[in-house]
Amino acid sequence: MNASPPRHRLAPPIAPAPGLAVEADEIVFAGRFAMQRVRFRYTRFDGSLSGPLTWELWRRGRGVLVLPYDPARDAVALIEQFRLPAHAAGLSPVQTELPAGLLNPEEDPAEAGLRELREETGLDATAVASIGRFMLMPGGCDEVLHCFCARVALDDAAGRTHGLDHEHEETRVVVVPSEDAFAMVAANRVDGAPTALALMWLQLNRARLRAEWN
């Protein structure tokens, strides 16, 4: 019988909780991320205990996304980046999205956002507003994404390439007027849900941000 992979830093045992009875918990794959198989029962709405369920749980940890916004130009910075999963899904492998990444252990989400912003766009923020935190796929993945809007100056950002060489990462900055970015979302031309969500948040909050940040 093959031994289970060792525990992964992103996949500690599922903690006990009211309404949850864990019967088995193992790591079935450990690489950059981890896949955890858990057999459990939960308390149903009528108070009874459910039958046993066995679910695979993709453990990714915490993530961060930043929407760079220039209130003086009323424009946003998007990035173009190669994404293998998009190709596997039958979409364009070059995705237009927002700077994002995973938090290092114990890293503050806002600080991580500023780090990702510099790495992927070369921009520095002069103010930051919280958009919120969201789960991307609560039925199968534990990632919680912290989203921020950053005030930036987009004077000469367009067309520049960035990214971490040791990760073989390459991103290209695209500067888009806010109204054009909102139109992209409305026309379903933004494939990534977090990017679309952040742009819709800006559409709702743009007037307030321009008053506060200009």
- The annotated binding site for Mg(2+) is made up of 100, 116, 120, 169
C-alpha to C-alpha distances, 24 to 8, 41, 117, nearest whole angstrom: 16, 10, 40
In which element (H, E) is residue 18 found? none
Catalytic residue among 23, 97, 111, 167: 167
Residue 26 bears catalytic tag: no
Question: Which amino acids are annotated as binding site, given as ranges?
Answer: 100, 116, 120, 169
Structure tokens at 5: 């992979």
CA dist 9 to 15, 210, 211, Å?
Answer: 14, 41, 43
C-beta separation of 157 from 122 below 8 A: yes
DSSP 147-166: EEEEE---TT-TT-EE--GG
The CA distance from 152 to 114, in Å, is: 11
Quick one: which of 161, 156, 189 has its CA closest to 75? 156
Which neighbouring-strand residues pair with 67? 149
> Looking at the annotation, which residues are catalytic?
167
